[in-house]
Amino acid sequence: MLRLRSQGAFPMFRDLSIPAISMGLLAAFVGYSASFAIVLAGLTAMGATSAQATTGLFFATLGMGICSIWLPAVTRIPAAVAWSTPGAAFLATTAILPGGFAEAVGALIFCAGLIVLTGLIPALGRIVAAIPKPIANGLLAGVLLKLCLAPAIALGSIPLLVLPVLVAWLVGLTWNRLAAMPFAVIAFLVVLYFSVDSSNSAVQMGTTWLPTFELAAPIFTIQSFFSIALPLYLVTMAGQNIPGFAVLELNGYSVDRQPLIRKTGLVSLAFAPFGSIPVNMSAITAAMMAGEDAGRDPATRYWAAITSGVVYILLAFAAALITSLASLAPLALITAVAGLALIPALVGSISAAFRQPTQLEAPALTFLIAASGMTLFGISGAFWSVIVGVIIWMAKAIANPSFDR
C-alpha cells in the first residue's frame, strides 16, 4: 500500500496541481452528466412533485459535494463520492408506495440509517459482504434491466428525438468510453432546444435559477422498509461502496472502510428528510482520480476528489434549472438518457452474476424476480429476489459440497 505523508490542513495546498484540478473537473462533469437523469427519474417515479424532485436533486448533489471534500481532506486519498446511481435506478423501476413520496422519504431515512449502522457495526458490513457475489450482481442486474430497456422503447415511440441522442452516445463511445454520456446529454439538450416551444421554456427557465424547496413529512412503514429501504441499502453497498473501495485498493491506497461508510451515511441521513438519495463511494470517478492522469505523485491525487466536490456544490444550485429543463422533455426521452447511462453497469453485473458455471440458477432467479416488478405481501420483488437466490445458492452448495462458494 502507498505510504501517504501526514501534514496539517494549510500545507495541503502545496499538493495542489493542475492535473488534479483538471481530472477533478472532468470527473465531476462525467459523474453528474451520466446520472442526473436517473436521479430525477427515481424521485419522480416515487411520486415527487417537480419542486420535491428539485429539492431531492439539490440535496443529493450537495451531499456528494460535501463528502467529496470532507473524505479526501481527512484521509488524503482520492476518495471519490457519488450518489447511489443503482439505487436511483431501483427507485425508478419500483411501484409507488401507498403513502406516495412521503413514504418514500421515510424509506430513504431508513436506508441512510442502515448505512450509518454499517459504519458503526462492522458485523453488518460483513453480512452484506457474505451475500454471494453472483446473487448481489443478479439483484443489481434485475434492478437495472427495466430502465436499460428505456432507450429501445423510446426509439419505437419517439424516434426523431431519441436517434440524435443515440448517435451522439455512439460517437462518444467510439472516441472514449467516458465521453459517451456527456455527448448524449449534449445531444439531449440540442434536441430539447429544437423540439420545445421556446416561449414557454423561457418563462419556466427564467424563474427557476434558485431552488425552491418543498418537503414531504416522512411516513415510516414496515412495507417501505422491506420494499424500498432494504433493497436500496443492498444495491448501494454491493453496487457502489464495495466496488468503490476495491478501486482505491487496486490503485495502492490503504482504505479504512468503516469511517468512510459512517461519514457518507451521516450525510445521507442528514439530507434524506429532504428526499435525497444516499451518497456513497464511487468506482468510476475513483478510477479516474486515482490514476496517473490526476498527478504523478499518488499522495497528491486527493485534490482531484476535492475539486470534484467543489464542482458538485456549485452544480447543486443548478438543480432547479436542471429539473425545469428535464420537465420540458418527454418522460420517455428522459428515461432513455438514464437507461443509456446504466448500460455499462448492467453488462458488468450480468457478466459477474453468471461467471460461476456451477451456480447459475440462483443468480438467474435473483435476476428474474428483481426484474419482474412483482410484489408479495406488499413487499417488492427486489427483497424476495435476494431471499430466493440465497436459498437456492445454499441448497445447491449443501447438496454439492464440491461447488466453489
Distance CA 105, CA 99 (A): 10
Decide: 308 and 27 in contact? Cβ < 8 Å.
yes
C-alpha grid cell, residue 210: 434558485
For residue 165, count other CB atoms closer than 10 A to its CB: 25
Nearest to 250 by CA among 242, 258, 261: 242
What cell does 388 get?
430466493
pTM for this prediction: 0.82
As a whole number of angstroms, the distance between CA 35 and CA 58 comes to 14
**Residue-by-residue pLDDT tens, the chain, 405 positions:** 444 444 455 567 676 678 888 888 888 887 887 788 889 989 999 999 989 999 999 999 999 999 999 999 999 999 989 988 888 888 988 888 899 999 999 999 999 999 999 999 988 888 887 888 888 888 888 888 888 898 999 898 888 898 999 999 999 889 887 788 888 888 988 888 787 665 554 444 444 556 778 888 899 999 999 989 999 998 898 878 888 888 888 888 888 889 999 999 999 999 999 999 999 998 778 888 887 877 788 888 889 999 999 999 999 998 888 888 777 778 888 888 888 877 887 888 888 889 888 888 998 999 999 888 787 877 777 788 888 998 998 888 777 766 554
